[in-house]
A and B are shown apart, each in its own frame.
Chain A
């Protein structure tokens, strides 16, 4: 079995570092221009350079999205921008507009990946793109598992598919609801997620088009068997905690598949973790069948903000760990600690100090510095969370 790449979103430099530390083999990022998440923090060219240096030191890759659908006014600056990004060290561009492909391939030794925005769904199109020199295709979310298999078998093209995160209700590239409802350009990074709004339809109230999130954890073995080159996680605007939890969970599943040690118990544990961190229902959508009523989300926008993330280890002195706190917890609480080594450590909090080394009983100020003495050996960037597992 070939090891698939685990590809993480990174909305900024902090997220890039967390993703690389927590098991991503590569990250995809957006610059300040030309990216489909115009309202993520995104990266300046200096940050792209710093991000690439950080990732490359760990043996990871960085892909830069240039996946807006260009208008005339966007064209002029893009060529210089590509040059600068190559100098900054990026490993591949993710493009949507095909006019960029030849320019990049003719001038630079970096890969070009075709964005899911182009909604590629069949063998014939992938062969065409391969002949053009495209190095990888991110398939449309609507492609079934059996068709992914056929595409890989018949084209030998490296294929990337989404395995986790929010889904579009509509075919990527074929939805401009945002343009018409808000004036914000869907295909240039302004998507206002109109498909998650509530509507009236005919005489009925509360019509929803929203769909459940994607969670492919139970099919990871099949997807590795098929030979998918890259497993992509959605969400450049997701939190570092979310990334750490999701990445480490999928990394454990992938390792267990490759080591032939995956059991139902292990898988169910990871499914529990992935469900808890998302706060939204999920399904496998088009992978095994046409999407149907079971893939719709009829509860409106009732996602709660997740307060499970308690803090991150930023310094260690022997067994005294300095934590940047995020959410409320107190002495006596049972917590879990996830580590970049993919471990999950359970413990009860039996001591807390503030940043002046004074004893406290509660940690209740977001972003404050606290300290905890813990016997277990924890790497930097380990994260504390509320218990996800029994």
Chain B
């Protein structure tokens, strides 16, 4: 497995000691990624000439986005990027229609949950699949064994759990006629302590887990089966994140043991392991 960092800034030098692979969002086309313009992507690739850069184009595309999307994809083809992470089928459609030489990553958030759908997209020309965070380690392992394209999975980060086109936070503050001065908003269900992060952007509203996913045990078990393990820096303190990244790198280099990695990351971010070892309930009855 290689480490793939979803960055929270344009300055990548601090990461480079530990990895050369990154995800960054394209301005106006991403959901829950740090976004930069096309020009800034060019600049990044000039500045860091040997990096593997995945571009996240993962918002729902509407008719009035299509021209811009097509122009951006044509320009991106000319850059030395590693691939495009897409959600909306229009991205796949344009790349195929124009025969663009771009490697695509099937990245439909919560819908990449079985091997058949990945095999379907492989036939459509997709080169990688980024698994959902709502499946177990065993399911990931089975997917890896029953698919041919490289698999990507997230092991560290706040997990996005919903996305709306509505401005839910500002609507509410408008309703109660108060200003909201919080940069990062948190919500909790009435009479319960567990918090979630709610963020409003130009594309709408996202809700994320307040707990940081610690998928270290799964990372260790899936090392040989997953091509890229994602560590997401967004909303995580930089110093702590770099510590974790360093630990992961050291583990891959065999300079720290699996147990040391598990213990150290637990000390830093706790042991919230999402759905790696908890199956979702299909039917209540």
Contact = CB atoms under 8 A, between A and B. Distances in A.
B63 A176 contact: no
Contacts of A70: 113-114, 116-117
A369 B108 CA distance: 53
A125 B93 contact: yes
Contacts of B282: 38, 185, 188-190
Interface of B: 31, 60-66, 88-90, 92-94, 96, 108-111, 113-117, 119-120, 134-135, 139, 142-143, 146, 159, 161-169, 171-172, 174-176, 178, 180, 182, 185-190, 196, 198, 204, 207, 209, 275, 278, 280-285
Contact of A298 (B175, B187, B188): B175
Interface string A187-209: 11110000001111110100111
Contact of A123 (B63, B159, B163, B166): B63
Given A121-B88, A142-B60, A176 B168 contact: no
B88 A122 contact: yes
Given A142-B60, A201-B186, A190 B93 contact: no
B130 to A, nearest CB: 14
B110 A98 contact: no
A4 interface: no
Contact of B171 (A71, A124, A171, A296): A296
Contact of B143 (A72, A127, A185): A72
Interface stretch (A265-273, A285-293, A312-320, A379-387): A285-293
Contacts of A74: 114
Nearest to B93: A128
Given A128-B92, A142-B165, A211-B166, A202 B182 contact: yes
Contacts of A188: 280, 282
Q: Please indicate which of the listed interface residues A142, A147, A176, A286 has the most CB atoms of chain B within 10 Å of its own CB.
A: A176
A296 B175 contact: yes
Contacts of A291: 165-166
B89 A199 contact: no
A104 B143 CA distance: 23
A179 B113 contact: no
Contact of A170 (B119, B164, B283): B164
A174 interface: yes
A96 B92 CA distance: 17
A204 B169 CA distance: 11
Nearest to A103: B116
A177 B62 contact: no
Given A125-B88, A128-B93, A177-B162, A209 B167 contact: no
21 contacts: A39-B284, A39-B285, A70-B114, A72-B115, A121-B62, A123-B63, A125-B88, A125-B89, A125-B90, A127-B93, A140-B60, A173-B108, A175-B163, A180-B196, A189-B283, A197-B189, A202-B180, A291-B165, A292-B167, A298-B172, A298-B175
B113 to A, nearest CB: 5
Contact of A176 (B31, B90, B162, B198): B162
A290 B190 contact: no
A175 B172 contact: no
A121 B188 CA distance: 31
Given A71-B139, A185-B282, A171 B165 contact: yes
B187 A200 contact: yes
A197 B190 contact: yes
A69 B90 contact: no
Q: Please indicate which of the listed interface residues A71, A120, A169, A185 has the most CB atoms of chain B within 10 Å of its own CB.
A: A71
Contacts of B119: 99
Nearest to B140: A72
A185 B134 contact: yes
Nearest to B139: A72
Contact of B198 (A150, A189, A201): A201
A97 B190 CA distance: 35
B116 A143 contact: no
A298 B60 CA distance: 27
Contacts of A182: 281
A142 B180 CA distance: 26
B163 A143 contact: no
A325 B284 CA distance: 31
Nearest to A173: B111
B280 A124 contact: no
A207 B172 contact: yes
A71 B135 contact: yes
B161 A38 contact: no
